[in-house]
Amino acid sequence: MTVWIVTSDAAVAGLLGLADGVGGGGGTDGVRVVLADPAPGVPVEALASAVARAVAAGPGDVVLAPDRPAERVLAAAVAVALGAPVLSGVTGFRDGAFEVSRYGGICVDTVALGPTLVAIAEGGATVSELVPDVTVSAPDNDAVTVVEQSVGERPADLAEASRVVAIGRDLASDVELARGLAEAVGAELAGSRPVAEALGWGHDRCVGASGVTIAPEVYVALGISGQLQHLSGCLGSSTIVTVNADASAPIWAHSDYGIVGDARVVVPALIVALQPVAPVGEP
Amino acid sequence: MSIVVAYKFARDPADASVAPDGTVDWSRARPSISPDDAVALALARQVADASAAVLIAVTVGPAAVAVPQARKSALSRGPSRLLAVADDALTDADAAWTAGLLAALVRRVPDADLLVAGDASADEAAGIVPALVAAHLGWPCLLDASAAERTAAGWRVRQSVAGGSRMLEVTGPVVLACTSDAAVAPVPGMRDVLAAGSKPVDVMALADLGVPGPRPPASQRARPAAPQRRQRRFAGPDAAADLVAALRADGVLP
């Protein structure tokens, strides 16, 4: 059996881990990486049909792709070409089966290997060296071209972050406050979908069903009520710290530490408390 | 020319409950047009108006998606016609089957050169069906589209990408899944709902479309283990300092 990884960049540490599990711990033996690497002006999505041809998967093979918009397009092209079902929301591989989070995480399906499968999972951190077995650069046609690229903020890499400070809708106008806390604890800044939309952030900073699923060591949820669609993106965090004025918000059921209160009041106090302790002066 | 917009009548998992054996009880979750698909309907209407195109809606699902209330819910949002496959065999149809059927419906609109869909459905939230439909049709697919306008050769599309946005030009037809804020989805007024009642609806029989049924892999379902969290809350004037001290004492923060 071959495990195929279809990606457009090296942020696939999570997929390599999955591939190792699927392959029975053989590391990268039996793993074939298909890299979509288009020329400037060609979007990754334009390579979909060429990538689908490059994935010469046989019966029982598994094709893994990171859960990012462009790669979902590639994965879909592969799935249709192979006539294979697509598993979205794959969170792990254990005892010979994929674990698939369904319906915002309210239940978990385990899907055994056997038929040819296309599985979409969080790509994970960037690996230092990714040697593709096949590189696809030329689209089948020039139907889609990039004519203008606006560079905004630096893309967030929440998958790499060991700490994340996330804000809810009500804090959209107080983002600098949250940024201050993020800097004080060395965290990446993120948000729920409404706040990401309000601030014009992309999926890369939006945690939850429509953005990224992350599992940092520390997740600080400021003013986040804990809708299912958001929780599904952060429940894997080792520690969840909550600041929320609503003591009955669903997020509290998933919190390790917290303060019931307005984040606008609590966060400045937290930033003060996080200051390095001043050295004790000479007597 | 015609523009096609796809939507799903979906249930919100926040209203579902899960038994210890993993069985999902959807009885309290009333299906409705997925919020993202309402945005897709609004965007598609705008694009159709701007390009003088006919807007046709497509949907696939159990019989409930074609009852009058469900039809009106979609048609009151702007499409002039609805093509549906409504069969209880499709109650838990997977993405592959759903996409194959949607593609078959799009093919029934021979002059279509744009399919608009939402970001993701309320229930599955996978964001994969539009791309699968595109692969069936042999059309390119762009997710996270925030705007589209017709050009002489095809489409000019703005797409959100990590850290910013970009503009793309497409020659020929395309499938777009729009961002959840690509358009404001207005609540249909009484006049829209009344007008929707007289719009044509074609409900196709599942068997007539010739799209093979699912071959879903064998799976088992379970309820995830309840999270074990420390549940420590801090209050009082020193709450912030106490919280930071506890995080440091427990090794959560250095």
Q: Are the Cβ atoms of A76 and B131 closer than 8 angstroms?
A: yes
What percent of chain B clears pLDDT 90, i.e. is strictly above it? Answer: 91
Residues 44-83 of chain B with CB under 8 A from chain A are none
pLDDT of residue A34: 98
Query: Three-state SS string across B4-32, please?
Result: EEECCEECCHHHCEECCCCCEECCCCCCE
> What tokens were used for B156?
């000019």
pLDDT of residue A278: 60
B206 vs chain A: nearest CA distance in angstroms? 19
B101 vs chain A: nearest CA distance in angstroms? 13
Chain mean pLDDT for chain B: 95
> What tokens were used for B229?
């969290």
Q: Is A204 a residue whose pLDDT tops 60?
A: yes
Q: Least CB-CB distance to B161: which of A202, A210, A270? A: A202
Strand pairing report for A188-191 and B9-10: unpaired
> What tokens were used for A273?
């408390």
What is the spatial distance between Cα B51 and Cα B68, in angstroms, rounded to a whole number? Answer: 29
In 3D space, the residue among B36, B3, B152, B162 whose CA is nearest the CA of residue A44 turns out to be B162
Q: Are the Cβ atoms of B140 and A45 closer than 8 angstroms?
A: yes
B217 touches chain A (CB under 8 A): yes
**Angle, helix A263-274 to helix B239-249, in steps of 10 degrees:** 50
In 3D space, the residue among A58, A110, A107 whose CA is nearest the CA of residue A84 turns out to be A58
- The backbone torsions φ and ψ at residue A130, rounded to the nearest 5 degrees and listed phi first, read -125, 110
Say if CB A211 and CB A205 are below 8 A apart.
yes
B173: three-class secondary structure by DSSP: coil
Residues 81-100 of chain B with CB under 8 A from chain A are 94-96, 99
Look up the pTM and report it: 0.92
Terminal Cα distance for chain A, rounded = 72
Query: Along the 254 residues of chain B, how does pLDDT read in single tens digits?
Result: 999 999 999 999 999 999 999 999 999 999 999 999 999 999 999 999 999 999 999 999 999 999 999 999 999 999 999 999 999 999 999 999 999 999 999 999 999 999 999 999 999 999 999 999 999 999 999 999 999 999 999 999 999 998 789 999 999 999 999 999 999 999 999 999 999 999 999 999 999 999 988 777 888 999 988 778 999 999 999 999 999 999 999 999 99
Residues 6-35 of chain B with CB under 8 A from chain A are 13-14, 16, 18, 22, 24
Q: Are the Cβ atoms of B252 and A217 closer than 8 angstroms?
A: yes
Q: Are the Cβ atoms of B125 and A76 closer than 8 angstroms?
A: no
Q: Which residues of B touch A260 (CB under 8 A)?
A: 233, 235
Read out DSSP for A28-88?
TTTEEEEEE-PPTT--GGGGHHHHHHH----TT-EEEEESSHHHHHHHHHHHHHHT--EEE
B203 vs chain A: nearest CA distance in angstroms? 25
Q: Are the Cβ atoms of B239 and A269 closer than 8 angstroms?
A: yes
> What tokens were used for A7?
């990606």
A248 touches chain B (CB under 8 A): no
Residues 110-169 of chain A with CB under 8 A from chain B are 110-112, 114-115, 117, 120, 142-156
B168 touches chain A (CB under 8 A): yes
The ipTM of this complex is: 0.95
A218 touches chain B (CB under 8 A): yes
A278 touches chain B (CB under 8 A): no
Q: Tens of pLDDT along A59-117? A: 999 999 999 999 999 999 999 999 999 999 999 999 999 999 999 989 999 999 999 99
- The backbone torsions φ and ψ at residue A183, rounded to the nearest 5 degrees and listed phi first, read -70, -35
Terminal Cα distance for chain B, rounded = 62
